[in-house]
Structure 1
Amino acid sequence: MSNTAQLTDAQSSAVAELLRRFPVAEELGGRFAEAGFELHLVGGPVRDALLGRPGDDLDFCTDAFPDDTLRIVKGWAEATWETGREFGTIGAARHGMRLEITTFRADAYDGVTRNPVVQYGSSLAEDLVRRDFTINAMAVSLPDRRFTDLHGGLDDLAEGIIRTPGTPQQSFGDDPLRMLRAARFASQLKFVVDEPAMRAMSEMSGQLTRITAERVRDEFSKLMLGADPVTGLRLLVEVGLAEIFLPELTGLKLEIDEHAQHKDVYEHTLTVVQNAVNLEQDGPDLILRLAALLHDVGKPATKAVGTDGRVSFHHHELVGARMTKQRLKQLKYPKDVITAVVELVALHLRFYGYGRGEWTDSAVRRYVTDAGELLPRLHKLTRSDCTTRNRRKASQLSADYDALEERIDRIQEEEDLARVRPDLDGNAIMELLGLPPGPLVGKAWRHLKDLRLDRGPLTHEEAVAELHRWAADQGL
């Protein structure tokens, strides 16, 4: 491929706009040129600018070694850091921007880990060929703004194709995480992975085990937060990558036999994920999307066929919650994310039955208090879970949930459910029962809270009477 690929007027304007927004790039290029070195803006910033979606990260490559880079930015950068020095990367801050400047690389890999034996390259061409995909292997030289595309990245960008600069076997063998990155870019950019790369991913999916759980988690989260996570998820299953780090997803492909008809759980799950995406109002929500993805993972383990041939999945939400917790822990997700997703999976079936008129105000209060701050997400997850093609049934479920939300709003206005507390606090309990601080006080407190949820607010006299009744039952 020629390194003199022609940008359209719109693309040239996009690159110019990127450099206008971030004048530090050309400032830095000037400093490197004065010192006798090259500097090139590379990777994601160039790709995103050409797509008309400029970001805030700036990555550069250079023929300068790290010590040279530090000398060049001294007195210009407001701060520098060397955490990536062993890989040839120096970080610098200027006008609130974080810049990463990496010496040309021509790495070799040991084929066991994803860590390269760092070898510095001698040219931009040598650096670009080792990058993951052609769309990330384009560069803008600074300060002269020369555009370089040696591997057809511009054409692939126009056609929406994800392709490796060299052979996919070499690229994925060097760094198996790139296979997951291919699926992530398919999700983020709505691009298609080319056939040679797809075949290599299928053949080499097992090599993903070389990658740490944290790195897999980060790439998977980016995939889930993409514009089209369903495409990325389908790709993971198709090439076998899901089986390596998320086998529960592949496991949803339950056999549907002639005598035990049930909804295709895998397709249903992907539909729920898409429904959840459609209901988001404030940008991508990782917790909601993970809950949508994992809400039915307990079904394979709980599938049963009755004497009438009907299929059931009793308590799959509880089994699924346990499986979800285990999987997210293995992927090293933060505790707060795990707790929230697990709770949503456990609660996602609670709504069903409401339309039969079985819910008292007490049941509504418990639904709200059990969900806590997850209630808005639970609303979205429950609505997303309605994937029936029966229009009458779908309309009824939607109407039922509308009615529940209206009822919740009414009760919340009356009772402020977000702050439900017993009608007597711990100090009053200790004083009335003559108890010292301890477990019994907490037990009494929880008993009064349960009463509050069941019956609504009690008068002071009613609460005192209930407390003494409880104490008598306890033999106090």
Structure 2
Amino acid sequence: MRLLPVQFRPTPLLEAASSVIRTLKGAGFDSGIVGGGVRDSLLGRSLSDCDIVTAARPEELAKLFPGSRLVGASFGVSLVRHGGFEFEVAAARQERFYLDGRHPGEVRYTRDLAVDMQRRDFTVNALWYDPVTEIVHDAVGGIDDLERGVLRTVGEPEERFSEDYLRMLRAVRFVSRLRFRLDPAAERAIRRLAAKCGELTGERLRGELSSMLTGPDPAGAVRLLERTGILAVVLPEVAVLRGVEQPPEFHPEGDVLTHTLLMLEHMAKPDPLLAWSVLLHDVGKAVTQSRDETGRIRFFGHETAGAETAAAILERFRFSTAERDGIVQAVRNHMRFASVLRMKLAKLRRLLADPNFPLELELHRLDCIACHGILDVFVFLLDRLAETPHLQTLPEPFVMGRDLVAAGVRPGPRFRPVLEKVFDRQLAGAFASREEALACALRLLDSGG
């Protein structure tokens, strides 16, 4: 057991957690802050996560904190509100006999916190801190791994990953977030077990992948997913983009996956919708690649094929309807920016006023940066928005269906295309009044639209 004296930076969160631990220790139960909060504090980061492990059993904890609430009866996890914060307090335990790649078949309480640490995933997450004595306790070599910048499992890697297959994705996330190296033994185990990631639910996969894509090194995370074989299991539609050649005159950077990774590297903010739009924007290229008579590579309709593939992926990962619709629209529309400089005013106004436009504009910027680097269209659109900000809001149409009915026209299928044409002309500034627009609509109806 290595004991490291250290004084964490005082914060209201730490003080409230310390008060809970003092109460527990005062009643004779060894306790401490555990997990990511300890790890991040030792790395010089602010303490934002404060889980507590204790030798007290749930019923003993409830006597000390009558307002506590048992939320994980099988694992002895309670919620304790104290000092304006809510803490997850877990009874120290042992777990054995994982039968389904996630849930232990046997859970036993223990009074020894060092024993509890043996069931945890990675050594850097298996440290506990006693704020009363101001000592970090390390029974697994986590402090050394922190100092070396290595992510290593507690115990034998294959056994640890087999307990919960999601730990393989967590390993990738921690490596990319902490900028650590993955322990070679852990990487070998992941390669052997990668296929098991296919047994994970879409919701659990989405959570880990989204955390990677919005972390400090999303491209590095995807590269490690590819290297370990996980990418081919959980996102085969993205994995197959490796080796899909592109025309070098437009994509000197290389194949489709290289282009996608460069876009991820240039993301300026951790926006999950943008990150997923980037990751999936070119998934249609793998199935639409062709060559013309000169040998030039083409991807006709890849945005349409990509939108269909993206929709299936997002459904598989159980994204909300709103999230799925925004990402799929961005994938489907990402090629329309090529015609912006030739767009008529009405079409341009519809583009600028689209609620999804900010996402699509940033996707376009990243798309350009990661290939030819020409940002003419992006700058043009920014200039238009700066000069005429009202273009981002569409006006109320001069003419609607009820106006045509009031003019004596029987409703029918012709209404919609005629109203769209009239509204386009309105956006282009063709009418000075509603009367002019209505007269135009009636003429179009009389002439067959």
Counterparts of 1:329 and 1:88 in 2: how far apart (Å)? 34
Deviation at 1:304, TM superposition (A): 0.5
Cα distance change of structure 1 residues 203 and 364 upon mapping to structure 2, 3 Å threshold: same
> Does residue 431 of structure 1 match 2:406?
yes
Range moving further from structure 2, 293-302 or 153-162: 153-162
CA shift digits 1:285-328 (9 cap, x unpaired): 11111111111110001000111111101111111111111101
2:203 corresponding residue in structure 1: 214
* Stretch moving more, 112-121 or 288-297: 112-121
Equivalent residue for 1:3?
2
Task: Describe how 1:390-409 pairs up with structure 2 within 5 A.
Answer: 394=373, 397-409=374-386
Structure 2 residue corresponding to 1:130, chosen from 112, 119, 139:
119
Kept after mapping to 2: 8 A contact 1:237/1:249: no
Corresponding residue number in structure 2 for 1:17:
10
1:53 and 1:258 map into 2 onto residues whose CA distance is 44
In 2, the alpha carbon distance for the partners of 1:23 and 1:456 equals 67
Instruction: Check whether the contact 1:172–1:178 (CA below 8 A) recurs between aligned residues.
Output: yes
Structure 2 letter corresponding to 1:268: H
Q: Deviations over 1:414-438 (max 9, x none)?
A: xx442333113454343233668x9
5 Å-filtered alignment, 1:96-175, equals 96-122=84-110, 123-175=112-164
Q: Distance in 2 between matches of 1:81 and 1:452?
A: 61
Compared with structure 1, are the counterparts of its residues 469 and 95 closer, same or farther at alpha carbon in structure 2 (3 Å cutoff)? farther
State how 1:144-293 maps to structure 2 within 5 Å. 144-256=133-245, 263-275=254-266, 277-278=267-268, 280=269, 284-293=270-279
Say if 2:348 is the partner of 1:364.
yes
- 1:107 is paired with a residue of what secondary structure? strand
Partners of 2:57 and 2:109 within 8 A in 1: no
Q: Residue 184 of structure 1 contacts residue 232 of structure 1 at CA under 8 Å; is this kept in 2?
A: yes
Taking the TM superposition and a 5 Å limit, the aligned residue runs for 1:322-341 are 322-341=308-327
Q: How far off its partner does 1:157 sit?
A: 1.5
Number of corresponding residues: 446
Q: What displacement does 1:118 show?
A: 4.2
Is the contact between residue 284 and residue 302 of structure 2 (CA under 8 Å) also seen in structure 1? yes
Give the one of 32, 44, 57 matched to 2:49. Answer: 57
CA deviation after TM superposition for structure 1 residue 82, in Å: 2.5
Instruction: Name the CA distance, whole Å, in 2 between partners of 1:189 and 1:102.
Output: 25
The answer to whether the 8 A contact 2:101-2:162 is kept is no
Pairs within 5 Å for 1:458-469? 458-469=432-443
Q: Of 305, 321, 331, which aligns to 1:319?
A: 305
Post-superposition Cα deviations, 1:136-160, rounded to whole Å, max 9, x if no partner, equal: 0100125333320112211221222
2:293 paired residue number: 307
Change (3 A) 1:458 1:127: farther
One-letter amino acid matched to 1:159: R
CA gap of 1:400–1:247, structure 2 versus 1, over 3 A, is same
Per-residue deviation, 1:454: 5.1
- Aligned-partner Cα distance in 1 for 2:220–2:74: 36
Structure 2 alignment gaps of length 5 or more: none
Match of residue 395 from structure 2: 420
Quote the Cα distance in structure 1 between the aligned partners of 2:105 and 2:234: 26
Aligned to 2:336: 350
Mapped to 2, the partners of 1:219 and 1:349 lie a distance apart of: 29
Change (3 A) 1:83 1:445: farther
With 92-101 and 192-201 compared, the bigger mean Cα shift is at 92-101
Contact kept in structure 2, 1:187 and 1:231, CA below 8 Å: yes
| Cα distance in structure 2, aligned partners of 1:365 and 1:24 | 54
Q: What CA distance in whole angstroms lies between the structure 1 residues aligned with 2:52 and 2:171?
A: 22
Quote the Cα distance in structure 2 between the aligned partners of 1:261 and 1:420. Answer: 38
Task: Give deviations 1:375-414, integer Å, cap 9, x for gaps.
Answer: 222221111111466xxx53xx21342123213444443x
In 2, Cα distance between equivalents of 1:248 and 1:311: 20
Residue identity opposite 1:64 in structure 2: A
Distance, in Å, in 2 between the alignment partners of 1:30 and 1:54 is: 22
Give how far 1:243 is off: 1.4
Task: Give the alignment partner of residue 385 of structure 1, picking from 367, 374, 392.
Answer: 367
Structure 1: gaps (5+ residues): none
**Contact 1:421 1:452 survives alignment (8 Å):** no
Report the Cα distance in structure 1 between the residues aligned to 2:222 and 2:236, rounded to whole angstroms. 12
Task: Say if 1:82 and 1:470 are closer, same or farther in 2 by CA, change over 3 A.
Answer: farther
Counterpart Cα distance in 1 of 2:84 and 2:417: 53
Distance in 2 between the 1:345 and 1:456 partners? 33
Distance 1:260 1:379 in 2: 23
Cα contact 1:103–1:120 (8 A) shared by 2: no
Give, in angstroms, the shift of residue 73 of structure 1.
1.0
Give the CA deviation at 1:174.
0.8
Residue in 1 that maps onto 2:59 = 67
Q: What's the CA shift for 1:336?
A: 1.4
Relative distance call for 1:440 and 1:261 in structure 2 (3 A) is closer
- Distance in 2 between the 1:440 and 1:422 partners? 17
Give the % identical residues. Answer: 30
Is residue 13 of structure 2 the alignment partner of residue 31 of structure 1?
no
Structure with the largest fraction of helix = 1
